[in-house]
Structure 1
Amino acid sequence: MTASGEFPATTPIGSRADAEGYVAMVCFKHGPPLLHGVELEWTVHHADDPHRPLDAAHLSQALGVHAPPTLVRGSPQLPLGRGSLVTVEPGGQVEISGPASASVPRLIEDTAADAAELTSLLHDAGLAPGDHGLDAFRPPRRLLTVPRYAAMERAFEQLGPHGPRMMCSTAGLQVCLDAGEADQTALRWRALHDFGPALVALFANSRRRTGNDTGWASARTEATFGTCAPFTEPPPLDGNPAETWARTAMDAPVLCLRRGDNWDAPAGLTFGAWADGALPDDRPTYEDLDYHLSTLFPPVRPRGYLEVRYLDAQQGDGWIEPTLLLIALMSDPALVDQAVAAAEPAAGRWFPAAREGLEDKLVLQAARELVDLGTGALSRTGVDQDLIDEVGNRLHCIVDDTHRRRAS
């Protein structure tokens, strides 16, 4: 996010109320829901031994001119062949994000091509992308030395073990959808949250951590929710989403005070307090507020569009199923209404879903109904029939196999 023309980036913020108004304006932008986006993230391992620690220099060599400046200072960070930029997370996880597209078939085709190109670059260097939403082999270890991640790591370490795990050991699939017209936004916001427990369970694959069974179907969800609760947990869904999110952003701690080489923020400083003058000699700017918003990690993050962040990274081309399922479920207001009703038995059951996966009866019920609705609407995405059939078969296999196992 960047400050709008109405709020120049370097303008000091006068008060918390001013900051809340800005957040509500820039984080929820209204209009016809036309664009879709997807971001793919993977942990990275040595192909011959996934337990071996990753080396920043080795990863830099593999990525070459595509490496981000956070990994290689001065790198041109050239996009991959279909336009995706490669970024690197603190523990060496790699991520690709391409331009949003109004064409779902084009989005799938371009993302798949760039994912294949990145995988080839890694393989040529003896590296391989991970298959799970959490590093199953190694403890968290920060590779990137930039001030942002050093400050975040120190702040999160004060709260427990989950922050370093989230930063350095997790990998997610992010699906990005427009917020929709003003009269649709609240429903679309609620729908993406209400779908969350069923979809977390449906695509959970991060049970193991450093070689041990965590007891969680999605230990990635455990780590992300536990990083800086309650701000990394699902938000309240009552009231106006933009106003609620703005208040949440103000109450969240400042993780990075971008001053000098050390970006550590004073303990207990919230952005709302900073905007109201808690640091009299250092007023925050709208650029500081934009940066603060980038350090918040809820399960759905509003960024002008809605960024779904609660899905585990998937093996190979497995990212296509959750991407198309979400796009299909959100493709029509009437269908969104039906899907919210289908998700209702599991709405709010985030922790049972993350622990038990589809073994939770209510979560399985919601997942089956969402799969039925979503696969019935896959034609709305415009992808070809072969892909519709393949995705439908895969999704039904997941829920049907679980149902048969529970019944036996």
Structure 2
Amino acid sequence: MSGPQSAAGEIGDKTDLIAYLAAGAKPRADWRIGTEHEKFGFCRERLTPLPYEGDCSVRAMLEGLTRFGWQPVYEGETLIALTDGTGASVTLEPGGQFELSGAPLEHLHQTCAEVNTHLAQVREVGDEIGVGFLGMGYQPTWTMDETPMMPKGRYRIMKRYMPTVGQYGLDMMFRTCTVQVNLDFADEADMVRKMRASIALQPLATALFANSPFREGKPNGFKSFRSECWRDTDPARSGMIPFVFEEGFGFERYVDYVLDVPMYFVYRDGKYIDAAGQSFRAFLDGKLPALPGERPTMSDWADHLTTVFPEVRLKRYIEMRGADGGPWRRLCALPAFWVGLLYDDAALDAALDLTKDWTAEDRQSLRDQVPAKALEASVRGRSLRDVAADALAIAHGGLKARAKLSAFGENETHFLNTLHEMVEEGRTLADEMLEKYHGEWGGDASRAFREYAY
């Protein structure tokens, strides 16, 4: 989850907010791929969560990683993140989940090399202090009471506010992990096309990456419980945002949506001021109860953009937010899936054609089915598994057309192999885990720590 944002300038009126988003447009030659992935850290000896302080801890991990050139980032005197000068960072989610926010890279070979390097660094430090990392979408065994809260000011505000607006907000904060990719757009029209294709197909990504079938040691009735949590976290700031498919959608309509999402906080002088439930529109008029008479800066707007959580989020780039965290191969497959669909014009046309007959009701129905059914869900009489085969063929073609070659002359299509295999078998990682739980694991969900750790 993001830290304080940095954006220069005062805000005159709403047109400045629109211009802020529009400034993200880039020519195709400058399009990049930014991959983010979260993972659960645990003390190997006891399979317990990492506290912030101590020998086997979050802080010890962060300090250990500085040997590789990472620079510490503090909130007050508290070490909360690392940066490396390339645009990459290591940050903390509320329950101590470690997140790598990757640098903006040109192709997937670089993305996978970045993931490899990061996980090698994490393993080296973790091996020394008895820490392991698990890639799943939802924590399989720990209770909420067992899960620590990281010492970041925004998390205290969110923890108080979340239970007032949804059943699963705290689960989302403390016990989920995701992998996502951030992609660029050429202009407003390109943004609209990419938003429509990615929102329509986001439930498919959820199904392909479904990897969260346990809660507190038992099957939870879902294949992606992480995705189910988002269905009842905060309806004002999450969901399928159907207005994206309405005529006239563009930057201004998205700005209007974000303005109507209640605020969490304002960041001033190194501290978070609680503004939970208050209106950014009132802030624009100098009427925010938390800061009466003060008007927002562009940094406040950039901060507020990080507190909306739709299935696809627009900032100065587009974030794909539907997938559970998972094993190494999935960390490379997720960006491959979306780059293949969205970074080639013919592939994007085909993706839009694949979903062109889906209504808002169809898209929402698919979103509601997927947490429990994954690839067994259906849309307009077709199984999602069949839709997945079509979408993967499109993504494969898009990656092939990009012709981005590795040092060994390979294009990017092989990063989709794990997804092709899954669709051919009709079996998600969640299905695999449930089969093991009821079989060789003997009902012991903690086996996931050993078999699916990095």
- Under TM normalisation by the shorter chain, which class is it? 0.7 to 0.9
Aligned: 1:265 with 2:282: no
TM-superposed CA distance for 1:177, in Å, is 0.7
Q: Mapping of 1:4-403 within 5 angstroms?
A: 4=8, 8=9, 11=10, 13=11, 18=13, 20-28=14-22, 29-33=24-28, 34-50=31-47, 52-57=48-53, 58-64=57-63, 65=66, 66=70, 68-70=73-75, 73=78, 77=82, 79=84, 84-140=88-144, 141-235=147-241, 236-237=243-244, 238=246, 239-258=248-267, 263-265=273-275, 268-279=277-288, 280-344=292-356, 347-348=363-364, 349-362=366-379, 363-379=384-400, 380=402, 382-384=404-406, 390-402=414-426
- How far apart are the structure 1 equivalents of 2:420 and 2:306? 36
* Residue pair 2:347, 2:397 contacting (<8 A) in 1 also: no
Aligned with 2:296: secondary structure? coil
Change in CA separation of 1:68 and 1:124 when aligned onto 2, cut-off 3 Å: farther
Shift in Å, 1:378: 2.8
Contact residue 205 and residue 217 of structure 1 kept, 8 A: yes
Partner SS, residue 182 of structure 2: strand
8 A contact 1:327–1:381 mirrored in 2: no
SS at match of 2:180: strand
Q: Does the CA contact (< 8 Å) of 1:175 and 1:308 recur in 2?
A: yes
Query: SS state of the match for residue 426, structure 2?
Result: helix
| Distance in 2 of aligned mates of 1:181 and 1:108 | 28
Tell me, yes or no, if the aligned pair for 2:337 and 2:416 is still in contact at 8 Å.
no
* Amino acid of the structure 1 residue aligned with 2:329: D
Q: Which runs of 5 or more residues in structure 1 are unaligned? A: none
Partners of 2:275 and 2:191 lie apart in 1 by 34
2: CA distance, partners of 1:350 / 1:48: 39
**How many residues end up aligned between the 2 structures?**
392
- For residues 383 and 85 of structure 1, the distance between their equivalents in structure 2, rounded to whole angstroms, comes to 26
2:33–2:104 Cα contact (<8 Å) kept: yes
- Report the Cα offset of residue 74 of structure 1: 5.5
Check whether the contact 2:27–2:186 (CA below 8 A) recurs between aligned residues: yes
Shift of 1:262: 6.3
* Cα contact 1:197–1:353 (8 A) shared by 2: yes
Shift of 1:36: 1.2
Write out per-residue CA displacement over residues 112-168 of structure 1, whole angstroms, 9 at most, x where no aligned residue: 212321233223221111121111111233421222110111111222341111111
The normalised TM-score by structure 1 is 0.87
For structure 2, the residue ranges without an aligned partner over 5 or more in a row are: 432-454
Find the residue that maps to 2:105 and give its secondary structure.
coil
Query: How far apart, in 1, do the equivalents of 2:102 and 2:77 lie?
Result: 21
Conserved in 2, the CA contact under 8 Å of 1:31 and 1:182? no
Letter paired with 1:35: R
- How far apart, in 2, do the equivalents of 1:351 and 1:249 lie? 23
Give the aligned partner of residue 434 of structure 2.
none
Q: Give me the CA root mean square deviation.
A: 2.8
2:32–2:105 CA contact under 8 A, matched in 1: yes
| Cα contact 1:195–1:340 (8 A) shared by 2 | no
